[in-house]
Structure 1
C-alpha cells in the first residue's frame, strides 16, 4: 500500500485525481492538496481520498462515480458548483467531514447496489441533498436549503440518520417513498415552508423517528399517504401549521411524544389510521385530533387545553380511546357526528368550557368505566338519532345536566352514578321522542330532578336508586316511561311527578317525601304496588274539586242575580224621586 500525493506544484507527478487513480491499487491513499479540481472522476478501486486542509479548500467541481464494488473512503473534500456530486453506483463510500454545495441534481445519490456511510457532512443549496435507493447511514450531518427534498429515500432503499439537522429547505425535509425503510434518531427538522410538509411518507414505505424535534413549519409536520407507515417515538412536534401530522390512507404510530402549539395536532382521513400511546397533545388553536373517514386508537394519552375540541370524529370515522384524559377545551371535548363511532374506556373528560361528550347526527358510542365531571355545559349529550351504551360511568359536579338525550336518540345506562349537578337542571334529561334504558344505577344529591322525561320521551328505569333531590326525583311530563323496582327515597317535594303522563310504575319503594306521587293533568299511568291507588285518589279528588267549582259557580250566579235585581230597584226609586222634585219646583215657580 502506498500514498499518492496530488498537487499542482510544477514538478508533481500527479496533478489530477484521475492520474493518481490510474496508478493506484486497492488500499492506497491519495492525498489531495487544496485547490479546485474540475475533472469528472470514476473510482473503480478501493482507495482512500484525503483532502489536505479544510474541506472548503479542496474542491471537486465535477461528478464523481463509484463503481465496480469499490470500497472508497473520502475525507475533507468539497463537491460544488456542478451538475451532480457523488454517485455510489456499485460499491461502498465512507465520507467524513465533507461538503456538498450548489449541485443542480443531487449532492449524493446512492443507487440500488450502493452503500454509503456519511459522517460530519454538510449538504446545502442543491437539488436533492441525499438521494438513497440503496443503503445509507448518516450521522452528525447538516442538510439545508435544498430546492428539492433534503433527503429522499426511494425504491428498496434502507436509510439510517442520527444526530443531524435538516432545516430551511424549499420542499420536504425527508421524503420516504416506494418500498423504502428508514430510521431517524436524535435529529432536528425545522423551518420548511413549501407546499410539502416537513416529512412525507408515501407508497409502501416504512419510517421510524425517535427522539426527534420537528418544528416551525408553515406547511405542516408530517404527511402519511398511500400504504405507508410512519412511527414517531419520543418525538416533539411544535408549531407546525396548519397541521402537525396528516394521515391520508396510511398508518402512523405515535408513542411517548409531545404535540404542542399549532393549529391541528393530528388530522386523519381517506381510510388513514393513527395510533397514539403515552402521548400529550396540548395548546392547539383548532381541534387537537380530527378524524373523518379514518380510524384512531388512543392509549394512556393526555389531550388538553385546546381552543376548540379535543377529538372530533365525522364521516363514518371510528375511534377507540382508552385510559386517557381529555380536559380544558373550549368546545365539546369529544365530538362525534355523521354516523361516526367511538369506544371510550377507562378514561376521564373534565374541566371543559362546553359539552364534555357530544354525540350527534346518527353517531354511536360504547362508553365504559369512565368519569365525566366539571364541564360547564351538559356533560354528555346524545342527539339527532344517535345511540350510546354507557356502563359503569360516573357523572358529577356539572354546571348543567349530566346526561341530555334529545331528538329521537337512545341511551343504555348500566351500573352508573350521577350526582351534584346544577340546581336548575335535572341530572338526566330525556326529551323529544328519545328513550333511555337505565338499570342498576344511582342518582343522588342534586336540587333539581334526578331524571326528567319530556316531549313524548320514553324508556325503562329498572333496579335504580334515587335520593336527595329536592324537586321531583323522577319527573314525567307528556311522556310514558316504565319505572320498575326502583328505590326512591329521602327527597323533597315528591318521589315521582306525573304531568299528562302515561307508562308504568311497577313495584317501586317510596320513603321520605312530602308526597310519593304528585299528579297533574290527564294521566293514564298504570301503577302496581305501593301507591297503586294514587291515580284513583287523584281522580276522586279531581271529581270533588270539579263539583266544588261547579257549586261555587252556581252560588256566584245567584248572588250576581240578586245584586242586579237590587241595583235595578234602586234605579227605579231614584227616577221616582227625581220626578217628584221636578213637580214641586214647578208648583213653587207658579206661586
Structure 2
C-alpha cells in the first residue's frame, strides 16, 4: 500500500513544511511513498531512498528545489520525480547511485555541473523533460529518453560512456558547446531526434562505440552532423542533414553503414572518409556540397552504392593514398569535376552515370594511382570525359562519352587502356595521347567528332585494334611529331576529312577506309646558330661557325676590299687567272686596345 505525504511551504494540517521532513517520515515506515509538493521554492538537498514518488502539485516550474550548493537529488532505490524544477550549481543536480530513477515533466538546470548522472548498474528513464546548461551523463548505466529537450549545454548535452546502453526517442538537442550526443565505448540508439547549433559534431561515436540512428535531423552545426571514429560501428538510416561543415565523417578505423540519408548544403563535404576510416553508404544523396560531395582521403576506403550527387563543386574525390569502390552512383549538375583520383589513390567506378559536369574523370599521380571504370556513361561535359596525367594508370571498360569537348585524354607518362568504349558528338576529338603516354584501345568507336577521332602527338605511343572512327570532320586518325604506334583492323568511314594522317612512325595493319591516307614526314629544321653575349672576354657559340673573322676589345674596325695585283705573263704565254683569286676580302683592324685572334 502506497502511503501519501503532503508538503506545503507554510505548513498546514498534516502537511510537512519541507520535502526532507516528508522523506524522513516515509523512510521510517519502510514502504512505498507518494510525496505531493505544493508550489513554492524549497532550498534543500534531497536524499531519496527506497520506493518514493515526488510529485509537484502546481503547473510547470511552480515547485522549485534549489539548494545553495551541492547535489539537489541523491537517489537510490526506485524513485520517480514528476513536475519539479531542480536547479543546482557546481555539482551533479541529480545523482542516481543505483536502482532506478524516472524523471517525468521535470526540468533540470545545472549551472556549472551535470544535470543527471546515471552511475553504473543504475537505470534512468527521462520522459517529457527539459535539461539546461549541463550535460546528462550515463556512465555504465542503462537508460531510456523520450520527448526530452537538451538546451545550451556547456559540454556534451548527452554522454553515453563506459558500456552504458541508452535509447533516445523524439528528443531535441540544441546549442551544445561540444557535442549534442557523445557515445564512447557504449551503445546508443537515436530515433526521430533533432540536433541543431552544436559547436562540434552533433553526434559523436568514438572508442568502439555502437551507434544506431533512424529518422533523425541535424541542421546548422559548426562541424560534422555525425562523426564515427576510433573503430566505432553503427547503422544510420533516414538521416537528414543541412547546413553542416561535413554531413557525415568517418575516421580512424570506424566502419558504419549509412542508408537512405540526405546531406544538403554542407559547407565543405557531404560524406567524408579519412585516416583509414571505412563505411558503407547506400542510397544516399548529397546536394550542393561546398567543396566535395563524397571525399575519401588519407587512407580512407568507403563503399558507396546507389548514391546520387547533385549540384556543388566536385562530385567524388579519392586523394592522398585513399581508396573507394563506387557502384550505381549518379553525379549531375556540378560546377567542377565529377570524379577525381589523385596521389597514389585507387578507385573503382561501376555502373556510374555523370551528366552535365565540366569534366568527367580526372586522374593524376604516380604509378600507384589507378582508376577502373566499368559500365560508365558520361554526357554533357565541357572539357574532357576522361583525363589521365602523371604516371597514373586507368582502365575503361564499356565507357561511353557523349556531347562534350574531348572524349579520352592521356598525357605525360600515364597509361590508359580502353575496352569496348565509344565516344560521340565531341567538339575537339575522340581520344588523344600526348607527352610520353601510352594509349591501348580495343573496340573503340568514335562517331561524329568535329575534329579528329584518334590523335597521337609528341612522343606518345598508341596501340589501337578492332576500332572504328566514323564521320570525323578533320581526320579519323592523326599522328604528328614523333608519336608512334599501330592500327590493327581499324576502319575510318565518312564523307569528310582524311582517313589517316601520319608521320611514318605508325604501322597500318588491315586498315579499312575510302578516305585519303597521307604520310607527312616533317623536314628537318636547319641547325640554329646562336651567339649569346654574356659579357665575357669573347663571344660564346652554341654551334659550329665557319668562314668568319672576329675581333673584340677594339675601338674601331675598318673593312676594305683590295683588288688583287695583275698576274705577270711569262714571255710566250698567255696570262691565266688563278681560280678564286680574282677578288679577296681583307679585314684591316686598327687595334688600339686589344688583339686580333
Per the normalisation by structure 1, the TM-score is 0.82
Aligned CA distance change for structure 1 residues 338 and 450 (closer, same or farther; 3 Å): same
Task: Determine the structure 2 residue equivalent to 1:361.
Answer: 365
Matched, 1:30 2:43: no
Does the 8 Å CA contact 1:223/1:245 hold for their aligned counterparts? yes
Higher helix proportion (structure 1 or 2): 1
1:153 to 157, 160, 163: 160
Matched, 1:417 2:422: yes
Does the 8 Å CA contact 1:475/1:498 hold for their aligned counterparts? yes
Task: Determine the structure 1 residue equivalent to 2:64.
Answer: 59
Give the superposition deviation at 1:225.
Answer: 2.1
Give the superposition deviation at 1:154.
Answer: 0.5
Does the 8 Å CA contact 1:324/1:347 hold for their aligned counterparts? yes
Higher strand proportion (structure 1 or 2): 2
Task: Determine the structure 1 residue equivalent to 2:128.
Answer: 120
Give the superposition deviation at 1:455.
Answer: 0.8
Alignment of 1:474-485 (within 5 A): 474-477=477-480, 478-485=482-489
TM superposition outliers: structure 1 runs of 4+ over 6 Å: none
SS at match of 1:369: strand
Task: Determine the structure 2 residue equivalent to 1:20.
Answer: 22
Give the superposition deviation at 1:484.
Answer: 1.2
Does the 8 Å CA contact 1:85/1:103 hold for their aligned counterparts? no
Using the alignment, how far apart are the partners of 2:110 and 2:142 within structure 1?
24
Judge which range, 456-465 or 373-382, deviates more.
Answer: 456-465
Task: Determine the structure 2 residue equivalent to 1:320.
Answer: 325
Using the alignment, how far apart are the partners of 1:383 and 1:141 within structure 2?
55
Task: Determine the structure 2 residue equivalent to 1:93.
Answer: 101
SS at match of 1:393: strand
Per the normalisation by structure 2, the TM-score is 0.81
Task: Determine the structure 2 residue equivalent to 1:460.
Answer: 463
Give the superposition deviation at 1:230.
Answer: 4.9
- Measured against aligned partners, the alpha-carbon deviations of 1:462-508 in whole angstroms (never above 9, x if no partner) come to 11222211322111222221211223333523321112x31322223
Alignment of 1:432-451 (within 5 A): 432-451=435-454
Using the alignment, how far apart are the partners of 1:215 and 1:171 within structure 2?
15
Does the 8 Å CA contact 1:467/1:491 hold for their aligned counterparts? no
Using the alignment, how far apart are the partners of 1:492 and 1:481 within structure 2?
24
SS at match of 2:51: coil
Task: Determine the structure 1 residue equivalent to 2:258.
Answer: 254
Give the superposition deviation at 1:276.
Answer: 1.9
Alignment of 1:196-207 (within 5 A): 196-207=200-211
Using the alignment, how far apart are the partners of 2:458 and 2:495 within structure 1?
24
Give the superposition deviation at 1:268.
Answer: 2.4
- Measured against aligned partners, the alpha-carbon deviations of 1:47-90 in whole angstroms (never above 9, x if no partner) come to 222111124122222432222xx222221112113322212221
1:371 to 374, 377, 383: 377
Q: Which structure 1 residue ranges, 5 or more long, are not aligned?
A: 524-591
Using the alignment, how far apart are the partners of 2:495 and 2:324 within structure 1?
40
Alignment of 1:539-578 (within 5 A): none
SS at match of 2:61: helix
Q: Which structure 2 residue ranges, 5 or more long, are not aligned?
A: 524-597
Matched, 1:351 2:356: yes
SS at match of 2:16: coil
Give the superposition deviation at 1:137.
Answer: 0.9
Using the alignment, how far apart are the partners of 1:78 and 1:493 within structure 2?
87
CA RMSD of aligned residues (A): 1.9
Task: Determine the structure 1 residue equivalent to 2:434.
Answer: 431
Task: Determine the structure 2 residue equivalent to 1:78.
Answer: 85
Using the alignment, how far apart are the partners of 1:26 and 1:279 within structure 2?
55
2:232 to 228, 231, 251: 228
SS at match of 2:474: coil
SS at match of 1:18: helix
Task: Determine the structure 2 residue equivalent to 1:519.
Answer: 519
Judge which range, 461-470 or 319-328, deviates more.
Answer: 461-470
Does the 8 Å CA contact 1:471/1:491 hold for their aligned counterparts? no
